[in-house]
Amino acid sequence: MPASRLYYDCDTGIDDSMALAYLLASPEIRLAGIGTVSGNVDSAQAARNTLALLHLAGRDDIPVAVGAADPQAGTYAGPVPHIHGHNGIGDIALPDAAPPRTDLDAADLIIQLAHSHPGELRILTTGPLTNIAEALRRDPRLPSLVADITVMGGAARHSGNVSPVAEANIHNDPEAAAQVLAAPWDITLVPLDVTLAHTLEETDRQALLDSGRPVPAALGAMLEVYFDFYLATYGRRCCALHDPLAAAVAVGAVAPTLAPVVDVVVDATGGPGRGQTICDLRGAYLGFPPQPGARCRVVLEAGPDSAAQLLKRLLTL
């Protein structure tokens, strides 16, 4: 089976950097294009970080499109230096990169790739869904042209991380997320339920640093800041695997162990639930019987060796 073409939408970000490296190391997919969006950092900085990482990996050939600067409603709330550092990649310095290889914005890059390979393109997102919603607006036929979409975001039974019920990617643009999750395509949602359950530990970080390879070593260095942040969550220096786990699920290298296909709606009100991914998990006692019309596979659990598998692949890059 030839490698699938994958479009990756991100707000690079330390864990987006890990996801990008993971994708570059994945034989199951061919990275056909990348778009950036404002989230962990603004979309322009996210593009700079992405280009620098691609350059470090010797992959200047992959087009990187700058995407939306602001969410659909309101303006970008700003970066989160206490989580990702001031530059989004843990304040490490990377060599200067080549300029972007496309003049398209992210939404148009998605549309171009989808039309070039109808029915084949796969999408992975690890940031707010602003670009995807914009692509849907520009071309409502998009879902019929795309094979599937994997979204890191939301929280099902687990707490949120920016409110008691909302996760950051969804909360940063709930209107866009509501549109993307309501569109008629097969979606895999990778929420906090599973991404917080799998961690990289200090020994893993040391393995990246000691790898003698530029990309893993850069990841190990930028994780310093990220590990500091997660001390307040876990009570130890380590980190959740949000974006790389979504990448591993998207390419099929990590198989979910519990992932019911259920109805999911996004709370886009101005109320206390704003940004929540409301997943209909009422069938839990019966093992989640089919829900007619449901198209969203919600990854609730993955095997206990997921983090180890993930690290192993990162070390091959």
Catalytic site positions: 11, 242
Does 229 help bind a second copy (rule: CB under 8 A)? no
Which token pair is 67? 């995407």
Residue 276 found at the interface with a second copy (CB under 8 A): yes
The answer to whether 241 touches 15, Cβ cutoff 8 Å, is yes
| By CB under 8 A, residue 176 contacts a second copy | no
Give the nearest distance from C-beta 32 to a second copy in angstroms: 35
Stretch that binds a second copy, among 104-112, 154-162, 203-211, 245-253 (CB under 8 A): 154-162
Q: How far apart are CA 80 and CA 242, in angstroms?
A: 16
CB of 122 to a second copy, least distance (A): 28
165 part of the interface to a second copy, by CB under 8 A = yes
CB 195 within 8 A of CB 246: yes
Integer Cα distance of 131 and 124 in angstroms: 12
| Tokens matching residue 250 | 């998207």
How many residues bind a second copy (CB under 8 A)? The answer is 29
Say which DSSP state 280 is in: -
Among 73, 77, 98, 284, binds a second copy (CB under 8 A): 284
Query: By CB under 8 A, which span of 32-40, 54-62, 160-168, 294-302 interacts with a second copy?
Result: 160-168
Alpha helix (H) ranges present in the chain?
14-24, 43-56, 81-84, 106-116, 130-138, 142-145, 168-171, 174-182, 192-195, 202-209, 214-234, 242-251, 306-314
Based on the shown chain and the rule CB under 8 A, indicate whether residue 269 belongs to the binding site for a second copy.
yes
* 132-169 b/e (C-beta count within 10 Å ≥ 16 → b): bbbbbeebeebbebbbbbbbbbbbbebebbbbebbbbb
161 binds a second copy (CB under 8 A): yes
Residue 118 as a binder of a second copy (CB under 8 A): the answer is: no
Residue 272 makes contact with a second copy by CB under 8 A: yes
Using rule CB under 8 A, residue 180 touches a second copy: no
At its nearest, how many Å lie between a second copy and the CB of residue 248?
Answer: 22
Q: How far is the CB of 287 from a second copy (least distance, A)?
A: 9
The closest of 176, 119, 181, 179 to 150, measured between CA atoms, is 181
In the complex, what is the shortest distance from the CB of residue 289 to a second copy, in angstroms, rounded to a whole number? 10
Of residues 31 through 90, those in contact with a second copy by CB under 8 A are: none
Residue pair 315/207 in contact (Cβ under 8 Å)? The answer is yes
Out of 95, 119, 212, 271, the residue judged to bind a second copy by CB under 8 A: 271
Residues contributing to the site for a second copy (CB under 8 A): 157-161, 164-165, 196, 233-235, 263, 265, 267-273, 276, 278-282, 284-286
